[in-house]
Amino acid sequence: MKVVLRNPRREVEVAGNRRVKDVLRELDILPETVLVIRGDDLVTADQLVRDDDVIELRPVMSGGSEPRLSGTGHPRGEAASRSPLQTAPHASGTGHPRPDAAWRHSLR
Amino acid sequence: MKCRKCGAPAALELRRHNAAFCAPDFLEFFRNQVREAIRRHRMLTKDEPVLVAVSGGKDSLALWDVLLEDGYRTTGLYLDLGIFDYSVESRAKCEAFAASRGAPLVVRAVADEVGAPVPVIKEVTRRPPCSGCGLSKRYLMNRAALDLGIPVVATGHNLDDEAATLFGSVLHWQTDALARQSPALASTHAKLARRVKPLYRLSERETAAYAFLRKIDYIVEECPFARGATSIAHKEVLARLEDASPGARHNFVFGFLDRARAAFERAEGVTLNECARCGQVTTGTVCAFCKLADQVKRAAAR
């Protein structure tokens, strides 16, 4: 079956005829971080997907906040910009601590 | 999995509520959560206008949709950040949404107000791009509300945003920020509009599901500068906690609001002045926005 991923948009082929949650596990995606879309419908993690299905895994995480510049009387905390789903091994290079694979698996 | 209300096949599972809903019942659940937020914090009334800050993303357009459906007197505000194709596309999404609903939309460009778009501000200040961007947005939202005579600004911040902000503030024990974090901020000065976050009870996944099910055409692509933002790193940590323990984010934010926030509120507030240059509210003499604009102008002159 075909799985459409976003940010950037790409497609991967995985085995079908199993539950959505098994597909998510194979792709190392936390169920709560995506909408699972089939056609015009949302699909829950316990549903079966067939070999000829196409599903989109649309990330829901957005962000972009800021260390505050001092001296303004306005409260802080805007986050109106878009951002990627950060799931399985992701590019870093920003100096932020990222959970590594070992830690990820230890949470399961 | 079946809908908790009607027993039909479910479209969305909400693990933190130990529930699942079909599409129509989820949409009603969503609207009721917004209504509860507005009621509990006396955020809005239907008699006064509200400025809805929209980015073209799922949260702010979902918020605008609910407020329009419920009969609030809304005006949209889109701030054009000048971030390449991302801004072009997100502006188009907002304009299309406003046109489809017959709702007024005001557009202001950061480049016109600051003297340069966000990518240039980033270079000039040598700070993370979200820094100058967030500062500009907060300032321009408030000023637009004042210009338009609208007493309250509504933003699309959701539960995950609030949890990430709270997490960041706690990590660094930013007690000033903790005192200010709230779903509703009163006006503490004649030139400060009220600020409300009617989606604070709803997760990011729920706002995305609402936008999808309502067929709202929102921008799924990320802001090119968001990758690597600190708030995203915090959201990732919280997403893993939520996966291991559904409701963790909810309890973190609601526990803070119910039991901890008051402890950070100082007996005496900060002194608010009017900026010597632009007249907007600041704790200093010249506000951070004017200083930023000066910095941009100086760089342009070089």
Q: Are the Cβ atoms of A44 and B180 closer than 8 angstroms?
A: no
Average pLDDT, chain A: 71
What are residue B132's phi and psi, to 5 degrees?
-65, -30
Q: Is residue A33 included in any domain, yes or no?
A: yes
Q: Is residue A106 included in any domain, yes or no?
A: no
ipTM score assigned to the predicted complex: 0.90
Q: Is residue A108 included in any domain, yes or no?
A: no
The closest alpha carbon to B207, from A79, A24, A100, belongs to A79
Q: Which pLDDT belongs to residue B268?
A: 52
Of residues B57, B131, B195, nearest to A82 (C-beta):
B57
Q: What tens digit of pLDDT does each residue of B137-146 get?
A: 999 999 999 9
Q: Is residue A95 included in any domain, yes or no?
A: no
Q: Is residue A22 included in any domain, yes or no?
A: yes
- Is the separation of the CB atoms in B107 and B91 below 8 Å? yes
pLDDT band at A104 (very low <50, low <70, confident <90, very high): very low
Residues facing residue A4 across a β-bridge: A11, A56
* Token pair for B212: 């999808």
* Secondary structure (DSSP) of B177-210: HHHH--SEE---STT--EEE-TTTTS-HHHHHHH
Q: Is residue A41 included in any domain, yes or no?
A: yes
| Chain A residue with minimum CA distance to B183 | A77
Q: What tens digit of pLDDT does each residue of B9-65 get?
A: 999 999 999 999 999 999 999 999 999 999 999 999 999 999 999 999 999 999 999
Q: Any CB–CB contact under 8 A between B50 and chain A?
A: no
d(CA B45, CA B35): 11
Task: Kindly tell me the sign of the dihedral angle through the C-alpha atoms of A14, A18, A20, A26.
Answer: negative
In terms of residue numbers, what domain contains A18? 2-59
Reported in sequence order, the residue ranges of B110-230 that DSSP labels E, i.e. its strands, are: 152-154, 184-185, 194-196
> First and final CA of chain B: distance in angstroms?
64
Q: Give contacts of B270 with chain A, Cβ < 8 Å.
A: 73
Q: Which pLDDT belongs to residue B62?
A: 98
Q: Are the Cβ atoms of B132 and A35 closer than 8 angstroms?
A: no
* Token pair for A59: 């990330």
Q: Any CB–CB contact under 8 A between B38 and chain A?
A: no
Write b or e for each residue in B77-111: b if 16 or more Cβ atoms lie within 10 A of its Cβ, otherwise e: bbbbbbbeebbeebbebbbebbeeeebebbebbbb
Q: Which pLDDT belongs to residue A8?
A: 85
How near does any CA of chain B get to the CA of A97, in Å?
Answer: 8
Q: Are the Cβ atoms of B272 and A42 closer than 8 angstroms?
A: no
Q: Give contacts of B168 with chain A, Cβ < 8 Å.
A: 65
> First and final CA of chain A: distance in angstroms?
26
What are residue A42's phi and psi, to 5 degrees?
-95, 145
Q: Give contacts of A86 with chain B, Cβ < 8 Å.
A: 232, 235-236
Q: Is residue A73 included in any domain, yes or no?
A: no
Q: Any CB–CB contact under 8 A between A63 and chain B?
A: yes
Burial of B288 per CB tally in 10 Å (0-12, 13-18, 19+):
buried
Q: Are strands A18-19 and A48-49 parallel, antiparallel or unpaired?
A: antiparallel
* Token pair for B301: 């002159």
The count of domains in chain A is 1
- Is the separation of the CB atoms in A1 and A52 below 8 Å? yes
- Is the separation of the CB atoms in B222 and B87 below 8 Å? no
| Chain A residue with minimum CA distance to B140 | A74
How near does any CA of chain B get to the CA of A22, in Å?
Answer: 15
Tell me B2's DSSP state. Answer: B
Q: Give contacts of B184 with chain A, Cβ < 8 Å.
A: none
Q: Give contacts of A20 with chain B, Cβ < 8 Å.
A: none
Q: Are the Cβ atoms of A75 and B185 closer than 8 angstroms?
A: yes
Q: Any CB–CB contact under 8 A between A105 and chain B?
A: no
- Is the separation of the CB atoms in A79 and A65 below 8 Å? yes
Q: Give contacts of B250 with chain A, Cβ < 8 Å.
A: none
The closest alpha carbon to A63, from B207, B228, B217, belongs to B228
Question: Which CATH number goes with the domain that contains A29?
Answer: 3.10.20.30
How large a percentage of chain B has pLDDT more than 90?
88
Q: Are the Cβ atoms of A75 and B90 closer than 8 angstroms?
A: no
Q: Is residue A38 included in any domain, yes or no?
A: yes
Q: Are strands B19-21 and B49-54 parallel, antiparallel or unpaired?
A: unpaired
Q: Are the Cβ atoms of A63 and B292 closer than 8 angstroms?
A: no
- Is the separation of the CB atoms in B100 and B64 below 8 Å? no
The closest alpha carbon to B138, from A75, A27, A65, A60, belongs to A75
- Is the separation of the CB atoms in A87 and A61 below 8 Å? no
CA A26 to chain centre: 13
Task: Kindly tell me the sign of the dihedral angle through the C-alpha atoms of B260, B264, B269, B272.
Answer: negative
| Beta-carbon-side half-sphere exposure of residue B77 (alpha carbons within 13 Å) | 28
For residues A49-73, average pLDDT: 72
The closest alpha carbon to B246, from B20, B14, B21, belongs to B14
pLDDT band at A75 (very low <50, low <70, confident <90, very high): very low
> ∠ at Cα B284 (B279, B285), nearest 5°?
55
Low-confidence ranges of chain B (pLDDT < 50): none
Q: Are strands B105-109 and B73-80 parallel, antiparallel or unpaired?
A: parallel
Query: Mutate which of B4, B135, B162, B180 to disrupt the A interface (most A C-beta within 10 Å)?
Result: B135
Q: Give contacts of A63 with chain B, Cβ < 8 Å.
A: 161, 164, 226, 229, 231-232, 235
Q: Any CB–CB contact under 8 A between B12 and chain A?
A: yes
